Structure 1
């Protein structure tokens, strides 16, 4: 993929005309929205309320079947809500068809016309929007420049890389100057290295133009990298809504902890709570953690693999374990330690650590490592 130079402002004098998209960016709000297909007793989306601030990129994240794509399609008007209210820019659009909603969508398959050139693909929606022929040409040229594809206009989609095809799809959506831009799994057809480059470009365009973007993915790393906020969905409902750091550092429950990155979920005991701080015991290990509404009694905590200390031999306030597996993966080491609480997965950036399979180790939990969670 021929990426645009990093750190440069892609809004040239011609493309700057499209900066008016910023002023059109609109908020999105769901109020108690439910979607049930046919006679099914199981909702695809169940009583969901959410808000997307104008000019922000919010990701709907979750496993297949959680309701995220149905939610996106209801914003687009491609699916109608069974109940509840959907607002775009404060306007009730719940019963409006897709053609009457000022949104554009970039599909997983890109949906480019193979018999049309790149320019013709970008112009396609404009031709049916009442623009003069000269303006259609100008807007298409500005859109291609914005995504770094000036000079590619006469090529056909088959002559482009996957990343370039994705950018054509983005340009086609942008030139319509939508209030809201929707992405449905936009990077799933790209290889890992290309995904990183394209997601950086999508984020750069979004922040430069101040676009309102709702982005669907099942890839937690992708969501963490591009989002202002992430809405994690599970079983047709919202499991947690927050910034990437909030979700990673303070997952609300076991599902979010395990889905946003990896986490060790361990049974523990809250021995006392005072001033919002809980005294927690995990075998011989004692910790003081934010209570997060937990009361005295059995509890669970989540500990990220990269926020666990591991050292050879035992030490005070550590959990005894034995290394069942040691794996070198280039940038870090991965350890699986057998303990009385089951296997604990730990990563360490110290690739020269002398720990070997079978070694007795002590596992410690730094003050900012584990968090108490609900089931």
Structure 2
């Protein structure tokens, strides 16, 4: 097995019982405990107002914890100002100086850090080469595309060689194609250099694509921590199941238990799944749209309510006795028309039992 490269400066981050309260009663982050390994890219993911950006800003020193402790490496930085923390942050807005050249923008922080002008220029040029912008030294930000401007912002942060590199919604100003390209660039740079990166986004696909680990946040607290695959395949509850990619939440009955397995019944369709600690009785099933099979054997009855062609796949809205469902199918050559009766079953592994 190839060992992951870790930068000599990359440091772990640890939150112990950290709470952030604004005013007298607005709890933005509520008693969170979190450990981020050195050299890993960890994403804070959640809906607006869940506390993810506040958490990131507390690492940066732009917000101070009300209580608890924050460590970067072995150093307690809980009360340190941003200027005394060895971190760099890439903002959503890029924050490039429009009157400065690309090289001057990248070298700007190095000058404040005490580097001689010649060395700052050399390091800035190396940073631009690292992000694929060699030869762009003399251009102004206005002469660059949105994706190139974001790379300049990344280069400016990288040349400072921080212990931790922070990204705050870095791709939200880019179109879909550029988002995919730049997120791949960020991930490649992080892996090549072995950086510790903490990355904030509300975009589930983005989080799944770039992360070693994802921290899902809800209502100022942590809902679940895990690898992208763990969160997608084994969500702890309905919120995580529905937030990490789409999920159909379906009522079911757990009819029997056999060791770690449970037999479940969905409208007469029976199958076995890991019980995940649930007992017999009413339950809930999370099923990904791509893991629904239509007319591939015995299942439960449904009807096609809506059929949509989106190029690479068909999307179907289904009507069932217990409500609506959403399914996607790869077969675009033989679409099912609205009103068509179908048998719905599940592909395995796929459905997951979650607390109802």
Report the TM-score range of the alignment, normalised by the length of the smaller protein: over 0.9
Match of 2:263 in 1: 279
Q: Pick from 316, 330, 340 the counterpart of residue 321 of structure 2.
A: 340
- Does the CA contact (< 8 Å) of 1:269 and 1:281 recur in 2? yes
- Does the CA contact (< 8 Å) of 1:57 and 1:206 recur in 2? yes
Compare 346-355 and 112-121 and name the one that shifted more: 346-355
Query: RMSD in angstroms over aligned alpha carbons?
Result: 1.3
* SS of alignment partner, residue 168 of structure 1: helix
- Does the CA contact (< 8 Å) of 2:291 and 2:348 recur in 1? no
Match of 1:324 in 2: 305
Q: After the TM superposition, which residues 215-364 of structure 1 pair with which residues of structure 2 at under 5 Å, given as runs?
A: 215-311=199-295, 315-316=297-298, 318-364=299-345
- CA offsets 1:297-348 (integer angstroms, 9 cap, x no match): 2111100000010128xx53x1101111111111001111111111111110
Tell me, in whole angstroms, the C-alpha distance in 2 between the residues paired with 1:66 and 1:354.
40
Match of 1:15 in 2: none
- CA offsets 1:344-370 (integer angstroms, 9 cap, x no match): 111100112252111111000123121
- Does the CA contact (< 8 Å) of 1:289 and 1:367 recur in 2? no
Structure 1 segments unaligned to the other structure (5+ residues): 1-19
* SS of alignment partner, residue 144 of structure 1: helix
Q: Pick from 167, 173, 177 the counterpart of residue 193 of structure 1.
A: 177
Q: Pick from 14, 17, 20 the counterpart of residue 29 of structure 1.
A: 14
Tell me, in whole angstroms, the C-alpha distance in 2 between the residues paired with 1:354 and 1:129.
61
The CA deviation at 1:272 is 2.2
The CA deviation at 1:273 is 2.2
* SS of alignment partner, residue 24 of structure 1: coil
Tell me, in whole angstroms, the C-alpha distance in 2 between the residues paired with 1:114 and 1:345.
46
* SS of alignment partner, residue 363 of structure 1: strand
Match of 2:115 in 1: 131
- CA offsets 1:84-104 (integer angstroms, 9 cap, x no match): 111111221111111111000
Tell me, in whole angstroms, the C-alpha distance in 2 between the residues paired with 1:354 and 1:121.
53
Match of 1:14 in 2: none
Match of 1:366 in 2: 347
The CA deviation at 1:258 is 0.8
Distance 1:21 1:142, change over 3 A: farther
Distance 1:101 1:264, change over 3 A: same
- Does the CA contact (< 8 Å) of 1:31 and 1:85 recur in 2? yes
Match of 1:58 in 2: 42
The CA deviation at 1:21 is 8.4
* SS of alignment partner, residue 181 of structure 2: helix
Tell me, in whole angstroms, the C-alpha distance in 2 between the residues paired with 1:266 and 1:274.
22
Tell me, in whole angstroms, the C-alpha distance in 1 between the residues paired with 2:307 and 2:85.
54
Structure 1 segments of 4+ aligned residues over 6 angstroms from their partners? none
- CA offsets 1:82-134 (integer angstroms, 9 cap, x no match): 11111111221111111111000000000111111111111111111121222
The CA deviation at 1:274 is 2.8
Distance 1:21 1:262, change over 3 A: closer
Tell me, in whole angstroms, the C-alpha distance in 2 between the residues paired with 1:217 and 1:153.
30
- Does the CA contact (< 8 Å) of 2:6 and 2:38 recur in 1? no
- TM-score, scaled relative to structure 1: 0.92
- CA offsets 1:238-284 (integer angstroms, 9 cap, x no match): 11111111111111111111111111001111122232211111120
Compare 63-72 and 149-158 and name the one that shifted more: 149-158
Match of 1:93 in 2: 77
Q: After the TM superposition, which residues 154-233 of structure 1 pair with which residues of structure 2 at under 5 Å, given as runs?
A: 154-233=138-217
* SS of alignment partner, residue 171 of structure 1: helix
- Does the CA contact (< 8 Å) of 1:21 and 1:179 recur in 2? no
